[in-house]
Amino acid sequence: MNVLVIGANGQIGKHLVEQLAQEDKHQVTAMIRKPEQADALKKLGAQVVIGDLEGTVDELAEAMKDQNAIVFTAGSGGSTGPDKTLLIDLDGAVKTMEAAAKQNISRYILVSAYGADQRSKWPEEIKPYYVAKHFADRALFASDLNYTIIRPGGLKNEPGTGKVAVGTDLKPGSIAREDVARVIAASLQEEKTYRMAFDLIAGDHAVSDALGKL
């Protein structure tokens, strides 16, 4: 498959690009906003395309040309305000869904957040972030795309273990970003994840085994 990673310059995105390139099963393309980010991602094994989540749907569709699957792992980041969260994490995500449909790309993986489906779990201090994730998830549910929505717990920068827990009502937990990337890569062609949304935290099962039990 030709896989486009949106948010490839982020921490999960870089892990995913590197893992997909090393697996050598898929051709990975990194969508970036700034040309100066290209060299580092090319060194990880990706092709590069320029795209802006604040651009138009048609521009995003053009960036997706010749792709078979889309992974959205972009985010506005913790240093921006609620306005950018809505523009990137919500509207940016929805525009990429519309762009994928325009290009007849059906496979779409969205990295959401643990608890995004349950308002009672939203921390008050970052509630706009959860609003964005919640409604991006809902837009994807309502689409005709062959989606997978992954809702990781607290994200850590430590090395991954390759052992995870997945499910639809997991207790709160955390997970290494490297392992989130592993789950994304494994989900691309795992039919048990098709049109599914699930929580993800560190656990006791190998990624393939955990996904196979969904």
Give the residue numbers marked as catalytic.
129
Q: Give 180's Cβ-side CA count (13 Å radius).
A: 34
Q: What is the DSSP string of 19-60?
A: HHHHHTSSEEEEEESSGGGHHHHHHHT-EEEE--TTS-HHHH
d(CA 19, CA 182): 7
Cross-strand pairs, 146:
107
d(CA 149, CA 156): 19
**The two three-digit tokens of residue 213, written as one number:** 């039990």
d(CA 28, CA 48): 9
d(CA 17, CA 99): 21
Amino acid, res. 54? E
d(CA 166, CA 50): 33
